Amino acid sequence: MKYSQNIGKLMHKLLSELFPINRSITGKGVRDTLSIISREIPIKTTKIKSKSKVFDWTIPDEWNVTEAKICTSSGEVVVDFLDNNLYLMSYSTSVDSSMSLSDLKKHIITDKSRPNWVPYSTSYYEDNWAFCLPYNFVKKLNDDNYQVKIEATKKSGHLEYAEAFINNNAKKEILISSYICHPSMANDSLSGVVLSVQLFKEISKLKNLNYNYRFLFAPETIGTISFLYNNKKTIKKSIEFGLVATCIGDKGKFTYKKTRNGICNIDRVINHIFNGRNDCNPILDFSPLGSDERQYCSPGFDLPVGVLTRSIFGKFKEYHTSADNLEFVKDEYLKVSLDLYLEIVKIYEANCIFYRKEPHCEPQMGKYDLYRTIGGGGEDNINELSQQRMWILNYADNETDLLEISQKSGFDVLTLKHASEALVENKLIFKKI
């Protein structure tokens, strides 16, 4: 693909800027994140008031935190949220008291299976507080009277999400969905955000597109539910397909999880592309466990939305821990992921069905200056462009799309599309609308 080799570096730089922000499903972290995104691409932010009902859900109060510390009885700080925002369970309530180690441990979350890493934990809908700490660190804590201080507020405010839109005056749109609610984790959440930002920039440069493009940056689950709620009357008609973009910056092979229907055109396009590569895992069927596809593919919407990741969420050992960090995500992986998303867009845009007004026998190609005029010889003597045109003409049957012709002929979709142009100009084939 022809664009700067530095793109991976730029994506990683943006990711590094977003990484330290203490994000949650509401609050300053979300606003700071959207403010940085808005510097990169134009976005429109939507706010929903706390306590609003969105389907079966209620928007929670806004959570903000200024301090979270554990100190020993002699005043030594042993845990400080400012060092790593994962130390504090998201939506923790305020505390200011001293307690024994055994009482403190009732509010400490560890992960014994990943003993040196900080686990990620949340309690959005239940008042509670906790520190999330490496198992091996907690094991070494001395018996002491600890001073615990969390200064946090839960107040009426807003939940916010943002959309970036590329208007190509099309009837339908393609949705790229990423989420902005995870604190300092790089692959889960943020890799999808920086991929979306860069994809917006790249798609904006493309001409003659058949679809509009919408990029959603929303807190996972509750933000996406809010977006769907606000668009419930129109979204089913407007979405051509969607992809949830996350976990796209690690070294793992690509993973595609199909739409609920499983036989949508996006499923076919990605299957086609994956078949031609050696860096892809077997394609997964839809399941109602995962990320925002749970909402997009709920039965009332049943949108053609799949998930395209590298190592899929929950299946890499760094997942939801402090090890999902800036070293885990690399420039080159982000760039190859961006290339793949762009390839999907280009192939989806190119794919179409043709028909012929005179489908009986082949046209006399020499008449149109589209074919060698000297007959004879075998397939080898027919140049590739002529071969491609013969495939297209034969399957211009108002049913077979370029994707299928590509699979039958071995010529790639973009090459076939290019070969079709002269046939369209000479009115030998017509695009089915």
Chain positions contacting Zn ion, by CB under 5 A: 188
CB of 159 to Zn ion, least distance (A): 18
Instruction: Tell me if 218 sits within 8 A of 161, measured CB to CB.
Output: yes
CB of 308 to Zn ion, least distance (A): 16
| Closer by beta carbon to Zn ion, 132 or else 174 | 132
Widest CA span in the chain: 96
- The closest of 86, 64, 280, 281 to 185, measured between CA atoms, is 86
Q: What share of the chain is helix, strand, coil (3-state, %, to 5)?
A: 35, 25, 45
| Closer by beta carbon to Zn ion, 188 or else 318 | 188
Instruction: Tell me if 199 sits within 8 A of 248, measured CB to CB.
Output: no
- Tokens found for residue 354: 């043709």
CB of 188 to Zn ion, least distance (A): 4
CB of 422 to Zn ion, least distance (A): 49
CB of 320 to Zn ion, least distance (A): 6
| Closer by beta carbon to Zn ion, 337 or else 388 | 337
- The closest of 409, 283, 83 to 400, measured between CA atoms, is 409
User: Residue length, the chain?
Assistant: 433
CB of 313 to Zn ion, least distance (A): 6
| Closer by beta carbon to Zn ion, 111 or else 188 | 188
Eight-state DSSP code of residue 249: S
| Closer by beta carbon to Zn ion, 222 or else 345 | 222
Instruction: Give DSSP secondary structure letters for 118-138.
Output: PBP-B-TTS-B--EE--HHHH
| Closer by beta carbon to Zn ion, 313 or else 371 | 313
| Closer by beta carbon to Zn ion, 223 or else 304 | 223
CB of 182 to Zn ion, least distance (A): 6
| Closer by beta carbon to Zn ion, 305 or else 312 | 312
For residues 354 and 351, give the distance between their C-alpha atoms in angstroms, rounded to a whole number.
10
CB of 246 to Zn ion, least distance (A): 8
CB contact burial 178-204 (16+ within 10 A = b; e otherwise): bbbbbbbbbbbbbbbbbbbbbbbbbbe
Do strands 108-109 and 131-132 pair parallel, antiparallel, or not at all (unpaired)?
Answer: parallel
Q: What torsion, rounded to 10 degrees, do the Cα atoms 23, 27, 32, 35 define?
A: 120
Instruction: Tell me if 107 sits within 8 A of 141, measured CB to CB.
Output: no
| Closer by beta carbon to Zn ion, 173 or else 188 | 188
Residue nearest to Zn ion (CB): 188
CB of 24 to Zn ion, least distance (A): 12
For residues 124 and 152, give the distance between their C-alpha atoms in angstroms, rounded to a whole number.
13
For residues 220 and 179, give the distance between their C-alpha atoms in angstroms, rounded to a whole number.
5
| Closer by beta carbon to Zn ion, 188 or else 331 | 188
Give the 3-state secondary structure of 293-336: HHHHCCCCCCCCEEEEECCCCCCCCCCCECCCCCCCCCHHHHHH
CB of 179 to Zn ion, least distance (A): 8
